[in-house]
Amino acid sequence: MRYVNINNPEEVLDFIAKKQVSEARKEVLVNCYENYCKWKGLSFTKPRYRRVKKLPFIPLENEVDMLISALPRKISVFCQLIKETGARPGEAWNLRWTDINPNNNTIIINSPEKNSNPRIIRASSQLISRLLSLPRRTEWIFKPNPKAKLKTLTRKFQRYREKISSELCDPRLQKISFLTLRHFKATMEYYKTKDILHVKQLLGHVSIQSTLVYTHLINFENNEWVCKVAKTLEEVCKLIEDGFEYVCDFDGVKIFRKRK
């Protein structure tokens, strides 16, 4: 293990420069060290690191649904929650039972992260039912105790994801993370509504600049559709809850579609 004299700026800069992390992380490290040097009165010239911006991976919906259906129940519900609400993984982890309102199928994000705004999000009746079916051992839906860390659930998810990806011979599943599901929701919501302010509110963003990335993530021109028909009001409601969009009426039935 290499020991670094934190009061020696040259030694610290050399350590950061050789550290195997992204340019963005190095930028964060030198910013923190700059504040330390100001506090200690040390002479420090901050180097410039250029962030490499990358667009997030957006899977197809059938890939997301395939993974969710193959996961153990608790992790599966956790993933479906993020997919439907666009909540950050930490926000979903901190949900309490009192944040669910089964009367109007809404979920309240009362513990927003990264200075985001709290919000109320409508969910499908299927998701609400799955949430309510989980055992109630603590005041939190997913946390087994107040000190439990999200990384424990993340590691379990990663192990199951690797196994499922291998069994299905689909390496793209390996690229799906909890955060990927949030990106998926944001991208699909913008595609359906073309309302960037709506997506901003859904995600809880303070700045619209954080939301604009979702306006050009994917191109649906060559994607295939799943088509369904509905004859009754109950069938219509079920298709809408499952993410289908209305197309037209034909021969006494209503036609809906959803991208694969």
Which pLDDT score, from 0 to 100, does residue 101 have?
95
pLDDT at 220 over 80: no
pLDDT at 28 over 90: no
pLDDT at 74 over 80: yes
Which pLDDT score, from 0 to 100, does residue 179 have?
93
H helices of the chain, in order, are: 9-18, 23-40, 61-70, 73-85, 89-93, 125-132, 150-168, 178-193, 196-203, 233-241
174 pLDDT tier (thresholds 50, 70, 90)? very high
> Is the domain 61-215 a CATH 3.40.50.720 member?
no
Which pLDDT score, from 0 to 100, does residue 12 have?
87
Query: Residues 33-47: pLDDT tens digits?
Result: 889 888 988 888 888
Which pLDDT score, from 0 to 100, does residue 216 have?
64
Helix (H/G/I), strand (E/B), else coil: 159: helix
Cβ proximity of 41 and 151 under 8 Å: no
Cα separation of 246 and 240, whole Å? 8
> Could you tell me the two tokens for 16?
């950061």
Mean pLDDT, range 69-84, rounded to an integer: 96
Which pLDDT score, from 0 to 100, does residue 214 have?
77
Average pLDDT, the chain: 88
224 pLDDT tier (thresholds 50, 70, 90)? low
Query: Residues 87-96: pLDDT tens digits?
Result: 999 999 999 9
Cβ proximity of 190 and 196 under 8 Å: yes
Cα separation of 92 and 141, whole Å? 9
> Could you tell me the two tokens for 227?
């088509």
Cα separation of 141 and 118, whole Å? 18
Q: In the chain, what are the domain boundaries?
A: 1-54, 61-215, 225-259
Mean pLDDT, range 178-190, rounded to an integer: 92
The better pLDDT of the pair 11, 131 is held by 131
pLDDT at 27 over 90: no
Q: What is the DSSP string of 181-223?
A: HHHHHHHHHHHHH--HHHHHHHHT-SSGGGTGGGGSS---TT-
Using CA atoms, how far residue 116 sits from 70, 95, 215, in Å, is 32, 15, 20
Which pLDDT score, from 0 to 100, does residue 92 have?
96
260 pLDDT tier (thresholds 50, 70, 90)? low
Cα 112 from chain centroid (whole Å) = 13
CA atoms within 13 A on the CB side of 216: 5
pLDDT at 1 over 70: no
Cα separation of 120 and 26, whole Å? 36
**pTM of the model as a whole:** 0.72
Cβ proximity of 32 and 46 under 8 Å: no
